[in-house]
Amino acid sequence: MRHDGGRSGEGRGGQNGGGRSNASDRSRNSRDSYRGGAADNKRPYARNQGGDDKRRGSRESNFGSSGSYRRQNDSGGGGGDRRADDITAHLPAGTVMKLKVAREKSPYGFFLTDGVRDVLLHYSEIVGTIKPGDDIEVYLYYDTEDRLAATMKMPLIRLGEIALLEVADIHPRFGAFLEMGLGRQLLLPFREQPELKELRPQVGDRVFAVLAHDRQGRLVAKLAGEEELQPLCFEAPVTWKNKWFEATVYKPLQMGTFVLIDGGVVGFGVIGFLHSSERMRLLRAGERVKVRIVHIREDGRANVSMRPPKEIGRDEDAEKLLAFLKERPNGAMPYSDETPADVVLQRFQMSKSAFKRALGKLMKEDLVYQEGSWTHMKQKQ
Protein backbone atom coordinates (compact mmCIF):
# COMPACT_ATOMS: atom_id res chain seq x y z
CA MET A 1 0.00 0.00 0.00
CA ARG A 2 1.29 3.39 -0.96
CA HIS A 3 0.08 6.76 0.26
CA ASP A 4 0.12 10.02 -1.65
CA GLY A 5 2.32 12.39 0.27
CA GLY A 6 0.82 15.55 -1.24
CA ARG A 7 3.31 18.42 -1.40
CA SER A 8 6.73 17.96 -2.83
CA GLY A 9 9.85 18.70 -0.82
CA GLU A 10 11.10 22.22 -1.33
CA GLY A 11 14.65 22.46 -2.56
CA ARG A 12 14.86 18.88 -3.79
CA GLY A 13 14.48 19.91 -7.38
CA GLY A 14 12.52 18.02 -9.97
CA GLN A 15 13.26 15.75 -12.84
CA ASN A 16 14.03 18.58 -15.21
CA GLY A 17 17.36 19.74 -13.82
CA GLY A 18 20.57 19.61 -15.78
CA GLY A 19 21.39 19.45 -19.45
CA ARG A 20 21.44 16.49 -21.78
CA SER A 21 24.58 14.59 -22.63
CA ASN A 22 25.53 13.69 -26.17
CA ALA A 23 25.22 10.37 -27.95
CA SER A 24 28.71 9.26 -27.02
CA ASP A 25 27.86 9.71 -23.36
CA ARG A 26 24.75 7.60 -23.70
CA SER A 27 26.50 4.84 -25.55
CA ARG A 28 29.05 4.51 -22.75
CA ASN A 29 26.39 3.16 -20.42
CA SER A 30 24.82 0.72 -22.83
CA ARG A 31 25.37 -2.40 -24.87
CA ASP A 32 28.82 -3.97 -24.83
CA SER A 33 30.44 -1.35 -22.60
CA TYR A 34 29.45 -3.48 -19.62
CA ARG A 35 32.19 -5.60 -18.24
CA GLY A 36 29.74 -7.63 -16.18
CA GLY A 37 30.12 -8.78 -12.62
CA ALA A 38 28.54 -7.51 -9.45
CA ALA A 39 29.18 -3.98 -8.27
CA ASP A 40 32.10 -3.51 -5.95
CA ASN A 41 32.70 -1.16 -3.04
CA LYS A 42 34.75 1.55 -4.72
CA ARG A 43 32.19 4.31 -4.18
CA PRO A 44 30.41 5.09 -0.91
CA TYR A 45 27.00 6.06 -2.29
CA ALA A 46 25.72 2.51 -2.69
CA ARG A 47 27.50 -0.65 -1.84
CA ASN A 48 26.98 -4.39 -1.80
CA GLN A 49 26.68 -5.89 1.63
CA GLY A 50 27.12 -9.59 0.79
CA GLY A 51 24.74 -12.32 1.79
CA ASP A 52 21.90 -10.01 0.91
CA ASP A 53 19.01 -12.44 0.39
CA LYS A 54 19.39 -13.94 3.85
CA ARG A 55 19.03 -10.55 5.52
CA ARG A 56 16.48 -8.87 3.30
CA GLY A 57 13.43 -10.55 4.80
CA SER A 58 14.06 -9.14 8.26
CA ARG A 59 14.35 -5.60 6.93
CA GLU A 60 10.84 -5.28 5.47
CA SER A 61 8.80 -2.56 7.15
CA ASN A 62 5.03 -2.67 7.59
CA PHE A 63 4.51 0.14 5.11
CA GLY A 64 3.28 -2.08 2.29
CA SER A 65 4.99 -4.26 -0.29
CA SER A 66 7.80 -1.80 -0.97
CA GLY A 67 8.06 -0.66 2.64
CA SER A 68 7.51 2.97 1.77
CA TYR A 69 5.10 5.76 1.04
CA ARG A 70 5.12 7.65 -2.27
CA ARG A 71 5.27 11.42 -2.51
CA GLN A 72 4.36 13.31 -5.66
CA ASN A 73 6.81 15.35 -7.74
CA ASP A 74 9.77 14.79 -5.43
CA SER A 75 12.53 12.98 -7.19
CA GLY A 76 15.53 14.72 -5.76
CA GLY A 77 17.85 17.28 -7.20
CA GLY A 78 18.91 17.10 -10.81
CA GLY A 79 22.34 18.07 -11.93
CA GLY A 80 24.05 19.09 -15.11
CA ASP A 81 26.29 16.07 -15.59
CA ARG A 82 26.65 13.13 -17.93
CA ARG A 83 23.84 11.24 -16.22
CA ALA A 84 21.20 13.98 -16.48
CA ASP A 85 19.57 12.34 -19.50
CA ASP A 86 18.85 9.21 -17.42
CA ILE A 87 17.41 11.24 -14.55
CA THR A 88 15.26 13.54 -16.62
CA ALA A 89 13.97 11.33 -19.38
CA HIS A 90 14.16 7.67 -20.18
CA LEU A 91 15.56 5.60 -17.34
CA PRO A 92 15.65 7.49 -14.01
CA ALA A 93 17.64 5.71 -11.32
CA GLY A 94 15.65 4.84 -8.24
CA THR A 95 12.44 4.02 -10.10
CA VAL A 96 10.63 0.84 -11.11
CA MET A 97 9.93 0.59 -14.84
CA LYS A 98 8.51 -1.97 -17.24
CA LEU A 99 11.12 -2.68 -19.93
CA LYS A 100 11.38 -5.15 -22.78
CA VAL A 101 14.05 -7.85 -22.78
CA ALA A 102 16.00 -7.00 -25.94
CA ARG A 103 18.71 -9.67 -26.11
CA GLU A 104 20.98 -11.88 -24.05
CA LYS A 105 24.68 -11.07 -23.74
CA SER A 106 26.61 -13.96 -22.24
CA PRO A 107 28.31 -14.11 -19.77
CA TYR A 108 26.82 -10.89 -18.37
CA GLY A 109 23.06 -11.05 -18.59
CA PHE A 110 20.20 -9.55 -20.58
CA PHE A 111 19.95 -6.10 -22.10
CA LEU A 112 16.63 -4.36 -21.51
CA THR A 113 15.28 -1.42 -23.50
CA ASP A 114 12.60 1.24 -23.40
CA GLY A 115 13.03 1.77 -27.13
CA VAL A 116 15.62 4.50 -26.66
CA ARG A 117 18.10 3.38 -24.01
CA ASP A 118 19.49 -0.03 -23.11
CA VAL A 119 20.37 -1.20 -19.61
CA LEU A 120 21.98 -4.41 -18.36
CA LEU A 121 20.14 -6.87 -16.14
CA HIS A 122 22.90 -9.04 -14.76
CA TYR A 123 22.24 -12.76 -14.36
CA SER A 124 22.55 -12.40 -10.58
CA GLU A 125 19.72 -9.85 -10.53
CA ILE A 126 17.14 -12.05 -12.30
CA VAL A 127 14.15 -13.44 -10.39
CA GLY A 128 12.62 -16.47 -12.09
CA THR A 129 13.18 -16.98 -15.79
CA ILE A 130 13.08 -14.48 -18.66
CA LYS A 131 13.65 -14.51 -22.40
CA PRO A 132 13.98 -11.93 -25.19
CA GLY A 133 10.65 -10.31 -25.96
CA ASP A 134 9.36 -10.44 -22.37
CA ASP A 135 8.14 -7.26 -20.67
CA ILE A 136 9.43 -7.19 -17.09
CA GLU A 137 9.43 -4.75 -14.17
CA VAL A 138 12.85 -3.78 -12.89
CA TYR A 139 14.36 -1.35 -10.41
CA LEU A 140 17.02 0.98 -11.84
CA TYR A 141 20.13 2.07 -9.98
CA TYR A 142 23.77 3.06 -10.55
CA ASP A 143 26.37 0.49 -9.65
CA THR A 144 29.63 1.50 -8.02
CA GLU A 145 31.31 1.96 -11.39
CA ASP A 146 28.73 4.60 -12.40
CA ARG A 147 26.89 2.30 -14.79
CA LEU A 148 23.10 2.32 -14.95
CA ALA A 149 21.93 -1.18 -14.03
CA ALA A 150 18.67 -3.05 -13.46
CA THR A 151 17.46 -5.62 -10.96
CA MET A 152 14.26 -7.63 -10.66
CA LYS A 153 14.60 -7.52 -6.87
CA MET A 154 12.38 -4.84 -5.36
CA PRO A 155 13.82 -2.35 -2.82
CA LEU A 156 12.33 -1.04 0.41
CA ILE A 157 12.34 2.50 -1.01
CA ARG A 158 11.96 4.17 -4.41
CA LEU A 159 12.73 7.63 -5.71
CA GLY A 160 10.59 10.25 -3.96
CA GLU A 161 9.29 7.84 -1.35
CA ILE A 162 9.58 7.76 2.44
CA ALA A 163 10.57 4.56 4.20
CA LEU A 164 11.73 3.48 7.63
CA LEU A 165 15.21 2.08 6.98
CA GLU A 166 17.60 0.41 9.39
CA VAL A 167 21.14 1.72 9.92
CA ALA A 168 23.46 -1.14 8.96
CA ASP A 169 26.84 0.54 9.32
CA ILE A 170 28.55 3.84 10.10
CA HIS A 171 31.46 5.03 7.97
CA PRO A 172 33.69 7.54 9.82
CA ARG A 173 34.13 9.73 6.73
CA PHE A 174 30.96 9.36 4.68
CA GLY A 175 28.01 8.75 7.00
CA ALA A 176 25.48 6.03 7.79
CA PHE A 177 24.64 3.18 5.42
CA LEU A 178 20.98 2.12 5.37
CA GLU A 179 19.54 -1.25 4.38
CA MET A 180 17.48 -0.76 1.21
CA GLY A 181 16.48 -4.36 0.62
CA LEU A 182 18.55 -5.19 -2.46
CA GLY A 183 21.66 -6.61 -0.88
CA ARG A 184 22.93 -3.05 -1.17
CA GLN A 185 23.21 -0.22 1.29
CA LEU A 186 22.22 3.39 0.75
CA LEU A 187 24.32 6.26 2.06
CA LEU A 188 22.85 8.82 4.44
CA PRO A 189 25.67 11.42 4.32
CA PHE A 190 26.80 13.26 7.42
CA ARG A 191 25.70 16.52 5.78
CA GLU A 192 22.12 15.20 5.94
CA GLN A 193 22.44 14.33 9.64
CA PRO A 194 22.43 16.52 12.79
CA GLU A 195 25.66 18.41 13.39
CA LEU A 196 25.89 17.25 17.00
CA LYS A 197 27.34 13.73 17.00
CA GLU A 198 25.20 12.62 19.94
CA LEU A 199 22.06 13.25 17.88
CA ARG A 200 23.10 11.09 14.92
CA PRO A 201 21.63 7.60 14.39
CA GLN A 202 23.52 4.50 15.46
CA VAL A 203 23.68 0.99 14.04
CA GLY A 204 20.33 -0.71 14.59
CA ASP A 205 18.31 2.51 14.65
CA ARG A 206 15.61 2.95 12.00
CA VAL A 207 15.28 6.37 10.39
CA PHE A 208 12.58 7.89 8.21
CA ALA A 209 14.43 8.45 4.95
CA VAL A 210 13.63 9.98 1.57
CA LEU A 211 15.35 8.63 -1.54
CA ALA A 212 16.70 11.37 -3.81
CA HIS A 213 19.48 12.15 -6.27
CA ASP A 214 22.57 14.07 -5.29
CA ARG A 215 24.12 16.65 -7.64
CA GLN A 216 25.92 13.93 -9.56
CA GLY A 217 22.76 11.90 -10.02
CA ARG A 218 23.69 9.20 -7.50
CA LEU A 219 21.02 7.75 -5.25
CA VAL A 220 21.32 9.11 -1.74
CA ALA A 221 19.18 9.15 1.39
CA LYS A 222 17.97 12.23 3.26
CA LEU A 223 16.27 12.36 6.63
CA ALA A 224 12.53 12.91 6.22
CA GLY A 225 11.30 16.08 7.92
CA GLU A 226 7.97 17.56 8.87
CA GLU A 227 7.23 18.61 5.29
CA GLU A 228 7.47 15.02 4.10
CA LEU A 229 5.83 13.35 7.11
CA GLN A 230 2.94 15.69 7.88
CA PRO A 231 0.82 14.85 4.78
CA LEU A 232 0.90 11.17 5.83
CA CYS A 233 -0.07 11.75 9.46
CA PHE A 234 -3.46 12.02 11.14
CA GLU A 235 -4.68 14.13 14.07
CA ALA A 236 -4.29 12.58 17.51
CA PRO A 237 -7.63 11.27 18.87
CA VAL A 238 -8.69 12.88 22.15
CA THR A 239 -8.88 9.40 23.68
CA TRP A 240 -5.09 9.14 23.36
CA LYS A 241 -4.43 11.70 26.09
CA ASN A 242 -2.43 10.33 29.05
CA LYS A 243 -1.80 7.06 27.23
CA TRP A 244 1.62 5.60 26.43
CA PHE A 245 2.83 4.93 22.87
CA GLU A 246 5.93 3.85 21.02
CA ALA A 247 7.50 6.60 18.87
CA THR A 248 10.45 7.15 16.54
CA VAL A 249 12.66 10.24 16.70
CA TYR A 250 12.77 12.01 13.34
CA LYS A 251 14.19 15.41 14.27
CA PRO A 252 16.42 15.60 17.37
CA LEU A 253 17.27 19.00 18.80
CA GLN A 254 18.85 20.11 22.06
CA MET A 255 15.81 22.19 23.04
CA GLY A 256 13.41 19.35 22.29
CA THR A 257 12.75 16.29 20.14
CA PHE A 258 10.24 15.75 17.35
CA VAL A 259 8.87 12.22 17.17
CA LEU A 260 6.45 10.25 15.05
CA ILE A 261 4.03 8.40 17.31
CA ASP A 262 3.09 4.97 15.98
CA GLY A 263 -0.37 5.01 14.45
CA GLY A 264 -0.92 1.25 14.58
CA VAL A 265 -4.08 0.20 12.75
CA VAL A 266 -5.32 3.81 12.66
CA GLY A 267 -2.74 5.01 10.15
CA PHE A 268 0.77 6.25 9.57
CA GLY A 269 1.18 8.14 12.85
CA VAL A 270 0.94 11.41 14.79
CA ILE A 271 3.59 14.10 15.03
CA GLY A 272 4.63 14.77 18.61
CA PHE A 273 6.97 17.18 20.38
CA LEU A 274 9.02 16.20 23.41
CA HIS A 275 10.36 19.21 25.32
CA SER A 276 13.84 18.87 26.79
CA SER A 277 12.40 19.06 30.33
CA GLU A 278 10.23 16.02 29.60
CA ARG A 279 12.99 13.67 28.48
CA MET A 280 15.73 11.95 30.43
CA ARG A 281 18.59 12.75 28.04
CA LEU A 282 19.42 13.79 24.49
CA LEU A 283 17.76 11.52 21.93
CA ARG A 284 19.17 10.63 18.53
CA ALA A 285 17.54 10.36 15.11
CA GLY A 286 15.98 6.94 14.57
CA GLU A 287 15.87 6.09 18.28
CA ARG A 288 12.77 4.35 19.60
CA VAL A 289 11.21 5.86 22.69
CA LYS A 290 8.13 5.32 24.83
CA VAL A 291 6.15 8.54 25.34
CA ARG A 292 2.98 9.64 27.08
CA ILE A 293 0.65 12.13 25.40
CA VAL A 294 0.12 14.99 27.82
CA HIS A 295 -1.63 17.51 25.53
CA ILE A 296 -3.34 17.41 22.14
CA ARG A 297 -3.05 20.66 20.24
CA GLU A 298 -5.69 22.26 18.04
CA ASP A 299 -3.80 21.19 14.91
CA GLY A 300 -3.94 17.55 16.00
CA ARG A 301 -0.33 17.25 17.02
CA ALA A 302 0.66 16.13 20.49
CA ASN A 303 2.93 17.29 23.26
CA VAL A 304 4.49 14.23 24.85
CA SER A 305 6.57 13.26 27.85
CA MET A 306 8.83 10.38 28.81
CA ARG A 307 7.82 10.87 32.43
CA PRO A 308 4.87 9.33 34.29
CA PRO A 309 1.98 11.52 35.56
CA LYS A 310 2.93 13.92 38.36
CA GLU A 311 1.38 11.84 41.14
CA ILE A 312 3.22 8.67 40.14
CA GLY A 313 6.35 10.51 39.11
CA ARG A 314 6.57 12.36 42.43
CA ASP A 315 6.72 9.10 44.37
CA GLU A 316 9.32 7.59 42.02
CA ASP A 317 11.44 10.76 42.07
CA ALA A 318 11.26 10.94 45.87
CA GLU A 319 12.52 7.36 46.15
CA LYS A 320 15.32 8.19 43.72
CA LEU A 321 16.46 11.22 45.77
CA LEU A 322 16.28 9.31 49.04
CA ALA A 323 18.38 6.49 47.62
CA PHE A 324 20.91 9.05 46.40
CA LEU A 325 21.13 10.63 49.87
CA LYS A 326 21.67 7.28 51.53
CA GLU A 327 24.76 6.73 49.41
CA ARG A 328 26.20 10.16 50.15
CA PRO A 329 28.67 10.87 52.98
CA ASN A 330 26.70 12.00 56.05
CA GLY A 331 23.49 11.65 54.04
CA ALA A 332 23.80 15.12 52.49
CA MET A 333 23.85 16.49 48.93
CA PRO A 334 24.68 19.95 47.55
CA TYR A 335 21.32 20.23 45.82
CA SER A 336 18.16 21.99 47.00
CA ASP A 337 15.27 24.16 45.83
CA GLU A 338 17.88 26.75 44.86
CA THR A 339 19.75 24.47 42.44
CA PRO A 340 19.49 25.64 38.79
CA ALA A 341 17.20 23.63 36.52
CA ASP A 342 19.95 22.60 34.11
CA VAL A 343 22.03 21.16 36.95
CA VAL A 344 19.04 19.21 38.26
CA LEU A 345 18.30 17.83 34.80
CA GLN A 346 21.90 16.79 34.20
CA ARG A 347 22.33 15.17 37.61
CA PHE A 348 18.94 13.55 38.23
CA GLN A 349 17.33 13.47 34.75
CA MET A 350 14.25 15.26 36.08
CA SER A 351 12.80 18.72 35.66
CA LYS A 352 13.19 21.39 38.32
CA SER A 353 9.46 21.25 39.14
CA ALA A 354 9.59 17.44 39.51
CA PHE A 355 12.68 17.80 41.70
CA LYS A 356 10.91 20.29 43.98
CA ARG A 357 7.80 18.08 44.20
CA ALA A 358 9.95 15.10 45.23
CA LEU A 359 11.84 17.15 47.85
CA GLY A 360 8.55 18.52 49.14
CA LYS A 361 7.22 15.02 49.62
CA LEU A 362 10.34 13.94 51.51
CA MET A 363 10.23 17.01 53.76
CA LYS A 364 6.51 16.52 54.42
CA GLU A 365 7.28 12.96 55.49
CA ASP A 366 10.00 14.38 57.77
CA LEU A 367 12.74 12.40 55.99
CA VAL A 368 14.92 15.31 54.89
CA TYR A 369 15.57 18.97 55.69
CA GLN A 370 17.38 21.80 53.88
CA GLU A 371 20.08 24.18 55.04
CA GLY A 372 21.04 26.79 52.50
CA SER A 373 21.84 25.08 49.23
CA TRP A 374 22.20 21.64 50.85
CA THR A 375 19.67 18.89 51.53
CA HIS A 376 20.26 16.55 54.48
CA MET A 377 18.66 13.26 55.35
CA LYS A 378 17.30 13.20 58.90
CA GLN A 379 19.02 10.68 61.10
CA LYS A 380 16.79 8.26 62.97
CA GLN A 381 16.78 8.88 66.70
Considering 305, 334, 363, which residue would you say is the last residue of a domain? 305
Cα four-point dihedral sign 307, 309, 310, 311:
negative
Give yes or no: residues 243 and 210 share one domain: no
pLDDT for position 202: 97
The residue from 275, 305, 335 where one domain ends is 305
| AA identity, residue 331 | G
Q: DSSP string of 247-302?
A: EEEEEE-SSEEEEEEE-TTS-SEEEEEEEGGGSSS---TT-EEEEEEEEE-TTS-E
Mean pLDDT of 64-89: 43
Domain CATH for 133? 2.40.50.140
pTM, full prediction:
0.66
Question: Which amino acid makes up residue 307?
Answer: R
The domain containing residue 346 runs over which residues?
312-377
**Is 201 inside any structural domain?**
yes
- pLDDT-derived band at 53, boundaries 50, 70, 90: very low
Specify the pLDDT at position 277. Answer: 85
- Chain-centroid distance of CA 255 in Å reads 20
pLDDT digits (tens, 9 = 90+) for 133-187: 999 999 999 887 878 899 999 999 999 999 999 999 999 999 999 999 888 899 9
Q: Do 106 and 157 reside in the same domain of the chain?
A: yes
- Whether residue 308 has a cis bond before it, omega within 30° of 0: no
| CA 167 – CA 178 distance, rounded (Å) | 5
